[in-house]
Structure 1
């Protein structure tokens, strides 16, 4: 939210520098500026969305991970569509205002060389706003099938091109000699380039690697795949990658559950949580081709003096990678307590593997919590507390509900929010 707040503040500053209020301010001038400002905020946020959608590496490092980029992408989208709908609603208010306020005569409008496009871009933008409203509804509706949503979401690139044309053609001519016009022009140019990259399938292409399935293991309801990658590949323990299997739905993100190795392999653990993941065991075979894009993410092994690692279910995967990376140099292992939180013994599919890994890492203490037997994990059951007034660094990967409840209790107990680290990655 700090990033979005700063971005909106920049837009408001550019608008504030450019706007030129009359000596006598009336309702019609306020309405006109409200139309302009809501449209500007919507368009600038749309431009930010397009930039984040291409997953630029330099921005990922600045944001602290692709997961946070996607979080900003999501909220920027919600705000952009909200401002767009507000822009359209204020535009429609003219008829109602005429019933109560006399409209002063309009002054002569400065001609613009793109004026011949004013009428068509107005119509196209109106349809685009309705489409964006529908996209917002199906994005927030989590039950809407992802396989369909991803294609609908891709239409955003086309809509942005239409809105870029709308913004350039309908912006007041006075804007173009001021910072606001420069901002609109830059956003239109960068956003259209990003839209073309999306429509031509260029996003992530330079970071995509060919691979094949080396082995398949079914562990309870978890499908464990080991993939052999062709060419150069390097990741850090705790990162994730997008995997796309031939002939099956588009790429999905999975945390890499293994450390980098000379064999150029990586392992992912896929829990059957939805229609897509449930059908994978029946569709995949050893030797099948896999397209792997990445690596992404900054959930790398920390170096704080005292640490607590909390894994909820399949959220154990980044910690498996951390432990795997420490096997070769156990003397470098930090002092950490690992809490593996599961529903019952049947769900604790990695308990033996974790015990074997931690056996050779004496500075790592493993605790397995079974909620049906031990109760729901909370601050007391996980023994999360400050020592001599200093809180440990807490690293979490697991369900959002567990994360929210733990963070709420820890904050009430006085823990600084900066001590709680987690991946915020969600596709929608």
Structure 2
């Protein structure tokens, strides 16, 4: 199945909403007629209100749907990271549409100052049982608009607010959608409901409201959550070194494909004196965070209790992960939701695979390499396939600050040396940076799989869009 790029999905959704508006839009006459009546301006303002309103509620409904983390959306969009990327841009688009909607509403003042009220259309009829709710719907819509702008601004300006308070504020988004849904339902023209546009609006309002209520009820990802515990935890070096966490999961865990990730919530220890107390110094109030699974299915076997094991490699890149390093201990309970993602190195026949990892971006490749180890115990029949179809020789590049002290490099070298099909490894360290031009030496079309900092990913993206037949796969997952 061909992946739908995020921009294409966003543009197609916006086009659908625009076409729905066009289907019920009458023609607009001269902006100002010979008698100086600005009926055209008033009609233009009214249609701008309708169009921006359709855009705003349509994009908000899309954000509500995407926030549910539905697995069936991963395949067409190319992974849960792309689902979240579309969710973010739909939210930004909804905020911009809401600003335009507010601007169209406020434009009545200068139209009235320039040409007076002559030519202003009469109020259109709405659903009879909501006629008396016009004023309430307008007030609720205006307050929801202000709150929506504030939440989107805090999402974009991530440094203004720590993750924990942002997370709780973001949970108000479903409430804002329900307020805006009532605003739209009460003010949508009655004539629309008997046309295809009305059916689309009804579907958007119903779907978005159901998603919002499900989210408020705590249903997001609930069916894909699995209990577990920390089986073992080990720092892979000194200060600021990655933390290896071995998780033991319940038998309900369905297995995973190499390269996938999961949302992991580490619970506070039940015993006192283990750093599990609540407060600014502990990480237990953060909720679930996404971590790449750094082991292939069944590569670690099972615990003495028969629990399937998997590995996480967590680098202290932020406040949460730094605190996690200080407080996480063996035996703690955890909840793991997933697996998600399609970073599985499944390329096409006739295309050369190139893997590029930088920093902690090595974690999905560790799992992909484990899946290529000879003699590895075979996964159960119901588990997903591990080695990609049509797998061939892979050229891998690993970018690290200091190869001599990198705690993951020895393991990486061993896995590459033993991999079947083969994986050649080139390490870029100590000032020897990888440049996109360095990949020109590989002949033919390339499938490039990249995980690492955004700057290098953007440089690869710019180069891949050139004349060479390159396809770049990169995870762009972000919690906000």
Q: What TM-score range do you get, normalising by the shorter chain?
A: over 0.9
Distance (whole Å) between structure 2 residues aligned to residue 152 and residue 346 of structure 1? 44
State whether structure 2 residue 438 is matched by structure 1 residue 424: no
Deviations 1:152-185 (A, max 9, x none): 1111000000000011110111110111111111
Contact map agreement 2:42 2:121 (CA 8 A) in 1: no
Q: Secondary structure at the match of 2:252?
A: coil
Contact map agreement 1:211 1:290 (CA 8 A) in 2: yes
Distance (whole Å) between structure 2 residues aligned to residue 17 and residue 9 of structure 1? 12
Q: Secondary structure at the match of 1:310?
A: strand
**In structure 2, do the counterparts of structure 1 residues 355 and 184 end up closer, same or farther at CA, with 3 Å as the change threshold?**
same
Aligned-pair Cα RMSD in Å: 1.8
Q: Secondary structure at the match of 1:420?
A: strand
Residue 423 of structure 1, CA deviation: 1.2
Distance (whole Å) between structure 2 residues aligned to residue 222 and residue 68 of structure 1? 26
* Alignment correspondent of 1:110: 125
State whether structure 2 residue 230 is matched by structure 1 residue 213: yes
Q: Secondary structure at the match of 2:396?
A: strand
Q: Where does 1:404-423 land on structure 2 (aligned, <5 Å)?
A: 404-412=458-466, 414-416=467-469, 419-423=471-475
State whether structure 2 residue 15 is matched by structure 1 residue 9: yes
Contact map agreement 1:303 1:334 (CA 8 A) in 2: no
Unaligned runs of 5+ in 1: none
TM-score, normalised to structure 1, is 0.94
* Alignment correspondent of 2:379: none
* Alignment correspondent of 2:380: none
Q: Where does 1:107-256 land on structure 2 (aligned, <5 Å)?
A: 107=122, 109-110=124-125, 112-143=128-159, 144-220=161-237, 221-233=241-253, 234-247=255-268, 248=284, 249-256=286-293
* Count of aligned residue pairs for this structure pair: 421
Q: Secondary structure at the match of 1:149?
A: helix
- Give the alignment partner of residue 327 of structure 2, picking from 275, 278, 283: 283
- Give the alignment partner of residue 338 of structure 1, picking from 390, 396, 400: 396
Q: Secondary structure at the match of 1:272?
A: coil
* Alignment correspondent of 1:53: 67
State whether structure 2 residue 402 is matched by structure 1 residue 365: no
* Alignment correspondent of 1:327: 373
Residue 142 of structure 1, CA deviation: 2.4
Deviations 1:375-412 (A, max 9, x none): x22124x444451xx22211101111111112223434
**In structure 2, do the counterparts of structure 1 residues 373 and 15 end up closer, same or farther at CA, with 3 Å as the change threshold?**
closer
Q: Where does 1:341-356 land on structure 2 (aligned, <5 Å)?
A: 341-345=399-403, 348-356=406-414
Query: Bigger CA drift: 206-215 or 337-346?
Result: 337-346
Contact map agreement 1:339 1:368 (CA 8 A) in 2: yes
- Give the alignment partner of residue 294 of structure 1, picking from 301, 321, 338: 338
Distance (whole Å) between structure 1 residues aligned to residue 474 and residue 405 of structure 2? 22
- Give the alignment partner of residue 86 of structure 2, picking from 68, 72, 75: 72
Residue 22 of structure 1, CA deviation: 5.5
Q: Where does 1:19-34 land on structure 2 (aligned, <5 Å)?
A: 19-21=25-27, 26-34=40-48
* Alignment correspondent of 2:3: none
Contact map agreement 2:124 2:189 (CA 8 A) in 1: no
Deviations 1:167-226 (A, max 9, x none): 111011111011111111111111111111111111000000001011111013211101
Q: Secondary structure at the match of 2:468?
A: coil
Residue 24 of structure 1, CA deviation: 5.5
Deviations 1:130-169 (A, max 9, x none): 1111112111112121111111111100000000001111
Q: In proportion to residue count, which structure has more helix? A: 1
Distance (whole Å) between structure 2 residues aligned to residue 402 and residue 277 of structure 1? 23
Distance (whole Å) between structure 1 residues aligned to residue 57 and residue 217 of structure 2? 22
Distance (whole Å) between structure 1 residues aligned to residue 262 and residue 197 of structure 2? 38
- Give the alignment partner of residue 362 of structure 2, picking from 310, 316, 326: 316
Contact map agreement 1:333 1:364 (CA 8 A) in 2: no
Contact map agreement 2:446 2:469 (CA 8 A) in 1: no
* Alignment correspondent of 1:91: 105
Q: Secondary structure at the match of 1:217?
A: strand
